Structure 1
Amino acid sequence: MDIKPRLHFRQLERFTWIHAEIQSGRFPNTCSIAEKFEISRKTAQETIAFMRDRFNLPLAYSGRQRGFYYTEPVHSLPWLTLTEGEVAAILIAERLAQAYAGGLSSDIANVLVKVVQSFTDRVSVDLTHLLNAQSVEPLPTSSINHEHFKALLQAIAQHKRIYMNYFTQSSGETKARKLDPLHLHSARAEWYVIGFDHLRNKVLDFHLGRIREITVLDETFEPPTGFDIERYLARGFGMIRGDGQLYDVVVQFDAYQARWIRQQSKVHKTALYEDLPDGGLRVTMQVGALEGVKQWVMQYGAHVQVVAPPALRDLVRREAEALLAHYSDAAKEAT
């Protein structure tokens, strides 16, 4: 899946190196290019041809110097000059990284600064204007440890088991856990590590902000047989996984609320939207976590109705009754 991006970056690296060599007064040739990047001379020649023919660079070969040079001045490579819109996009990305990238926010910000500095020879963009023209109001999120994030990335890439002290919200206790980390996942601006937990003997989600200590062990592991991250994520709702059973969920929004629901991205990977004659909207999906769906439905109050399954209707009804009782009691106390 990631072969093409890797090849693309290798090509960019070759283009950039050849350009830098020529600008420095050296004369790179197919031998030096092949040796530098451990490629064949044929591939090196194809790289030169691509730069000359596709990017219209004034490349020529000097028999005396036994290498390539520019026949006229070249200030920058064609893709190394950013437009104002591109710089604006990078600034937005930097602010989003600061807001939501968790343990990698500072690394991403530093990379984006280098991109602007390296890819734009002459910047005629008013950065102050661009900065003042945009803002990001982040959702409330939990802070996570930068080193924990990097350790998990390493462990996942190398299939290394980890040992961690983890605080469990429901019990209020911190316990030692041995985990085979499989995937890092961000949901609603919070970061989780999904992994096989040796204490519970199954795949679970762990919030990065609740990890107190972490150690990457020398032990390696193999992912559980048949584990598929896409199926795992799709069976739940948000970060609530449920009991493993899948439910056919049907909810209907009235015409008022439907206008907002339509403009949002789909609430679940399996969600299907159907316009109703009265302007309302029917949403059907297959999920395995009714508690998560209940929380989503409740935020829309009387503008949404659960059609199916009956178990979800009961969950919403009990929650509504408890809410009504709470406010009824408060009203009695006030009088």
Structure 2
Amino acid sequence: MSNMHRVQWFDQQIREGNYPNSQRLAYQFEISRRQAQRDIEYLEISLRAPLMYVAKHRGYIYEDKTFVLPHLYMTEEEKDVLRYLSYRYRHYYDDHNSSVQRVAHLLSRFTDEDEEPLKSSRLPLFSANPRLMQYMQLLSYAIKEHVVVQISYKVEGKVSQLHICPLKFVSKYNADYITANCVQQSQRMSFRLDCIESLIVTKQSFTLSLHDMDDEVDASLPVHKPFTARVKFQGVLSEETWNGYPYQLVQENIYDIYFYETQAFLQQLIVAEWTQLLAPKWLKEKLENTCVQMMQRLQSGEERSIGG
């Protein structure tokens, strides 16, 4: 049970004049006195409740009876996301680790992370990527200061040297992008962060146009329409997306899956469960070639082991 249920119970007990304390809270929810005291501290410090301990009654009251708890209802899915973020922050270490740990603690207050270890779930566990974090920091500075950034951008094995005017970050289908005006292409584009080979913030500034400041205008992600893969599954897809990819039912157990990044989608096909890839033909050929190359590498490795 989330600590917010306990906080709400504690709040109700105060309003009913029952003078609740950490001992009663611990007994009511079968938790430790230490955990109960942390819940009370969270109510007082984080939610700014005007708590006052009354020694005569060995419990708490509100000094200001007009205090109302903020609306803090969250779905279980939202709690899973916060639990995941808390886990990620707890396992990230750098020179500012104390600040990172405070963020982790704050996130965990909305979940049961203090009481139970992170359980296995469908949420992915990615390792922190220092290079991408550095890029986001530099690009954030460039966005704030309106300065041009020089990048080496790799697409399908080809590296291009580009100058961009970064505008904002966006996320789409498990990938992070920077939306920017490309100087060479003279148009707004979206660049996937993990395709950036190197990045240099220049001293050259740029001016935002009215088009750039219009929040209604957005760059496509990427600039082409999504590809469509027709896939047959063993049963019905029950989630809103298939591992992050939107889909549309065509007929029984057959779905059109929409994707942008071919390589990422091929990796998904390799690890996910499905019955038959029906279309398009070029995607089937790419998947077949990828599998053949994997088998060749495996066989080559076995031959070297035997030969050694």
TM-score (normalizing by structure 2): 0.51
1:98 corresponds to: 89
* Residue of structure 2 aligned with 1:133, choices 112, 116, 122: 116
SS at match of 1:312: helix
Number of the residue aligned with 1:251: 231
Partner Cα distance (1:287, 1:145) in 2: 22
Task: From the superposition, tell whether residues 320 and 146 of structure 1 become closer, same or farther in structure 2 (CA, over 3 Å).
Answer: closer
Query: What CA deviation, in whole Å up to 9, does each residue of 1:251-271 have, x standing for no partner?
Result: 11235xx6xx64574446641
Measure, in 1, the Cα distance between the counterparts of 2:280 and 2:226: 11
**Structure 1: stretches of 5+ with no match in the other structure:** 1-71, 117-124
Is the Cα contact below 8 Å between 1:97 and 1:108 reproduced in 2?
A: no
Q: How far, CA to CA, are the matches of 2:201 and 2:191 in structure 1? A: 16
Deviation at 1:314, TM superposition (A): 1.6
Distance 1:192 1:109, change over 3 A: farther
Contact 2:166–2:178, Cα closer than 8 Å, also in 1? yes
Structure 2 gap ranges (5+):
1-61
* Cα offsets for 1:115-170 (capped at 9, x unmatched): 99xxxxxxxx9x99751314388312312576764553465467x24224557597
Q: Distance in 2 between matches of 1:310 and 1:216?
A: 47
Partner residue, 1:232: 220
Output aligned runs, 1:169-248, within 5 Å. 177-186=162-171, 191-199=176-184, 201-202=186-187, 203-207=189-193, 211-215=198-202, 217-222=204-209, 223=211, 228-229=217-218, 232-233=220-221, 244=224, 246-248=226-228
Q: Percent identity?
A: 10
- Per the alignment, residue 318 of structure 1 pairs with 289
Letter paired with 1:207: L
Q: 1:167 to 1:232 in 2, by over 3 A?
A: closer
Output one character per residue of 1:177-217: Cα deviation in whole Å (capped at 9) or x when no partner. Answer: 42121331346776432323324555241427855442474
Task: Indicate the structure with greater helix content.
Answer: 1
Q: How far does residue 284 in structure 1 lie from its aligned partner after superposition?
A: 0.5
1:164·1:212 contact (CA, 8 Å) conserved in 2?
yes
Q: Give the 3-state SS of the residue equivalent to 2:285 in structure 1.
A: helix
Report SS of the residue matched to 2:125.
Answer: coil
Distance 1:99 1:144 in 2: 19
2:69 partner letter: W
Tell me which structure has the larger Cα radius of gyration. 1
1:275 to 1:319, Cα distance in 2 relative to 1, 3 A: same
- Cα shift at 1:111: 6.8
Aligned to 1:163, the other structure's residue is in SS state strand
Contact kept in structure 1, 2:165 and 2:206, CA below 8 Å: no
After superposition, the C-alpha distances for 1:10-43 in whole angstroms (9 at most, x for unaligned) are xxxxxxxxxxxxxxxxxxxxxxxxxxxxxxxxxx
- 1:42-191, aligned counterparts within 5 Å? 73-74=63-64, 77-79=67-69, 92=83, 95=86, 98=89, 130-135=113-118, 138-144=125-131, 149=136, 152-153=139-140, 155-156=142-143, 160-164=146-150, 166=152, 177-186=162-171, 191=176
8 Å CA contact retained: 1:162, 1:214: yes
Do 1:155 and 1:216's aligned partners in 2 also have CA atoms closer than 8 Å?
A: no
- Distance change (3 Å), C-alpha of 1:185 and 1:246: closer
CA RMSD of superposed structures (Å): 5.4
> How many residue pairs end up in the alignment?
233
8 Å Cα contact 1:161-1:180 kept in structure 2: yes
Query: What SS is found at the alignment partner of 2:254?
Result: strand
Q: How much does 1:309 deviate?
A: 1.3
- Equivalent pair of 1:142/1:190 in contact (CA under 8 Å): no
Measured at CA, do residues 82 and 283 of structure 1 come closer, stay the same or move farther in structure 2, by a change above 3 Å? closer
TM (normalized to structure 1)? Answer: 0.48
- Residue of 241, 248, 255 corresponding to 1:272: 248
